[in-house]
């Protein structure tokens, strides 16, 4: 029996069982993501299907940056996000979105899988620390933010946690598709 059909445990130490469950679900998706990216070289992490398209490395950095962003802005209610204080890279260092004909961002050039694993681990440590403090009442709290385009967005802390999980899962699917495309490209042009 494979472990894809295992239970999602509720980790101890959280004030809210529901917040603990969100984190446990994110941990499970991250474990699967780590399995799906093993063996990638810096070249594979920077490979583009076409200019202007995301790389696996860009998506890994983006997952970490967005997780920190939503925890800072969407859960803590901070006025601004500071990815550098948690991850050591700026929000724009993931390169997303790229210009139509652009190559991968210089900030990620030559980075290996350990670099991206570290970013994801730092983001999760930050998320875990913040989520452990949340109560059930906190999950119902509404927070309004003003998006970069000037639009106002109001949602609960519960939705913000869900969105971090949804964001991770969506980009995990993109990464798996890029990994498959990379395998096809490597088979067509062996080195």
- CATH number of this structure's domain 38-188: 1.20.120.450
Query: How far apart are alpha carbons 42 and 186 in whole angstroms?
Result: 14
The stretch 165-178 carries a mean pLDDT of 98
Domain residue limits, the chain: 38-188
Taking only the tens place, the pLDDT of each residue in 69-98 is 999 988 888 888 899 999 999 999 999 999
Beta-carbon count within 10 A of 91 CB:
18
Taking only the tens place, the pLDDT of each residue in 113-143 is 999 999 999 999 999 999 999 999 999 999 8
């Amino acid at each position: 029996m494979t472990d894809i059909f295992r239970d999602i445990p509720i980790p101890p130490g959280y004030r809210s069982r529901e917040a603990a469950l969100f984190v446990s679900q994110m941990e499970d998706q991250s474990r699967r993501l780590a399995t799906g990216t093993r063996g990638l070289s810096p070249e594979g992490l920077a490979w583009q299907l076409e200019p202007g398209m995301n790389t696996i490395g860009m998506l890994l950095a983006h997952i970490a940056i967005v997780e920190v962003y939503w925890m800072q802005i969407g859960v803590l209610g901070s006025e601004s996000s500071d990815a550098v204080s948690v991850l050591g890279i700026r929000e724009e260092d993931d390169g997303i979105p790229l210009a139509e004909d652009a190559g991968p961002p210089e900030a990620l050039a030559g980075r290996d899988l350990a670099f991206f694993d570290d970013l994801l681990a730092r983001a999760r440590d930050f998320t875990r620390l913040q989520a452990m403090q949340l109560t059930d009442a906190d999950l119902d709290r509404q927070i309004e933010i003003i998006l970069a385009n000037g639009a106002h967005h109001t949602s609960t802390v519960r939705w913000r946690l869900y969105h971090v999980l949804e964001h991770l899962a969506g980009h995990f699917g993109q990464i798996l598709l890029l990994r498959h495309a990379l395998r096809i490209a490597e088979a067509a042009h062996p080195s």
